[in-house]
Amino acid sequence: MNKRTVSFRMTVLFVTIFFLALVTVLLLMYIAMSRTTQMIVDDLLSLEAGEFEVIYKMRGIDGLRDMLIAESASEGTENTFYIILSPDMEVLISTDTTSFEHIIEDDRIPMEFLAGIQPGEERFVTLYNEPKREYVRLYMKKYDDGIVLEMGETMWAERMLVQMIRNIFLISSLSILFVGTIVFWNIMKRTMKGVNEITTTVSNIGRDDLVSRVPLAHRGAEIDNLAEAFNRMLERIAVLIGEMQDITNNVAHYLRTPIARIRGTAETVYFNEDSVIEEKDSIGAIIQECDRLTMMIQVMLEIASIESATGGNFEGPIDVNVILEEIFDLFLPLAESNDIRFEHEYSGEKLTILGNSTMLLGAVANLVDNAVKFTPPNGSVIVRSRMVDGMAEISVSDTGNGISREDRPHIFEKFYRGGDVGDTVGNGLGLSFVQAVARRYNGMVRIDDTEATGTTFTLVFPLLTEHEE
């Protein structure tokens, strides 16, 4: 699953908040500008009506007619109209209203807008002129002698001004948003650089690189404090692992020494010609147990070394097929002596992995040794290698009795031995060693459930690319 980074999430959050703020500001600005322009238009209409009233009082209705006709011609009949109504609401004067016919009824503004108008009162109404797709601001005033002045003026110029300012603001804001997103993304990348370095260090530790530390580079108090705390934790872990390794080595050393002495004493007695036969049998058993204990201690040390990543670091590219060829040559005589057919099927492709050849040889040898030990005469053991989905697979199959369902969850536990192993010699550490080697090199080991009989163990390791080789 592809996880989204914190930088990506924070950038998306920034863009979302900025976009919502932009929309809110744009909406508020549009409302404020629309109201302001409407107020300006109303003031101009009211001022113009005052001038007409003065003309009416000085020159009478004829003088007002001449004035309105001249004003209509000056402003344009498609932009404005003037109507004078008598006190009985009869049309006395009317300029060309052709462009406003969809909002004019009976050569006047609809009477509903004049209902109850009082002398000296001014009224304003905005209507939408559908054919011309523009708003018209209407003005009505009743003079003291009862005549009514009606005016209408398109608001396209004001609307265009509002739209132009809105577009400029929108384009500017989107440009700021685009640049801001890039800048914010880079800031977040720089901020998260320290966290990424900690992640890289953790990944290196996961690959057994316990000496890695997070570099301190003054990336802010929070990041630096986190890096310092993480480095202190690593130092403490390294000390604890070292102490555990010392304890393990000391225990192994103090066990090996008395075991070696017991074995040496037993050998002396065993090869003494004066020893009786019964004594030799008992001493021979003691020697075998000493050898088994010594081998067990050695395997435990190797597993501890692999799991704690404190073992030798002789890593490099390994040709899987070369390792399997050595295994085949090593175990072929043993298999033939047990009347077991030992075969191999190597991949036709070169399978190169990163690892320690001695460890890998030991892991595969453990699997083959188990297969030979638990396969009856006339059975078979097959070692295979192949490439699957960019991984190298090494499988060891046998035709033995298989492993019971009850034992399978525990077979990789240290010292665990299944209930059906009988008298077969073993210490219960071989598969633990195999699993430790697989994990050391980012691989895995599994037991195949599909076999009807016998057992198949499969080791899986990541392949090296040509560049890594």
CA-to-CA distance for 359 and 196, rounded, in angstroms?
32
Residue-level pLDDT at 446:
92
Instruction: Give CA torsion, residues 126, 131, 133, 136, to 10 deg.
Output: -20
CA atoms within 13 A on the CB side of 208: 19
Q: At what angle do helices 156-191 and 193-206 cross, to 10 degrees?
A: 40
CA-to-CA distance for 452 and 431, rounded, in angstroms?
22
Pairing state between β 391-398 and 341-345:
unpaired
CB atoms under 10 Å from CB of 349, counted, come to 12
Q: At what angle do helices 6-75 and 156-191 cross, to 10 degrees?
A: 170
Over its length of 469 residues, how does the chain's per-residue pLDDT go in tens digits? 456 777 788 888 888 888 888 888 888 888 888 888 889 889 999 999 999 999 998 999 999 999 999 989 988 888 899 999 999 889 999 999 888 888 888 888 888 888 888 998 999 999 888 888 888 999 999 988 889 999 999 887 777 887 888 888 888 888 888 888 888 888 888 777 777 777 777 777 666 666 777 777 676 777 778 878 888 888 888 777 777 777 777 677 667 777 777 777 777 777 776 666 666 677 777 777 777 777 777 777 777 777 766 544 567 899 999 999 999 999 999 999 999 999 999 888 888 998 888 889 999 999 999 999 889 899 999 999 999 988 999 999 999 888 888 888 888 887 787 766 666 667 778 888 899 889 888 889 998 865 457 889 999 999 987 766 6
Instruction: Give CA torsion, residues 301, 306, 307, 308, to 10 deg.
Output: 80
CB atoms under 10 Å from CB of 394, counted, come to 28
CA-to-CA distance for 24 and 200, rounded, in angstroms?
42
Q: Give the type of residue at 149.
A: L
From the list 167, 174, 183, the residue with the least C-alpha distance to 19 is 174
pTM over 0.75: no
Residue-level pLDDT at 343:
93
Contacts of 375 (CB under 8 A, 6+ apart): 338, 340, 381, 398, 399, 400, 454
Q: Could you tell me which residues are beta bridge partners of residue 388?
A: 391
Q: Give the type of residue at 176.
A: I
CA-to-CA distance for 8 and 1, rounded, in angstroms?
16
User: Is the separation of the CB atoms in 73 and 81 below 8 Å?
Assistant: no
Residue-level pLDDT at 1:
45
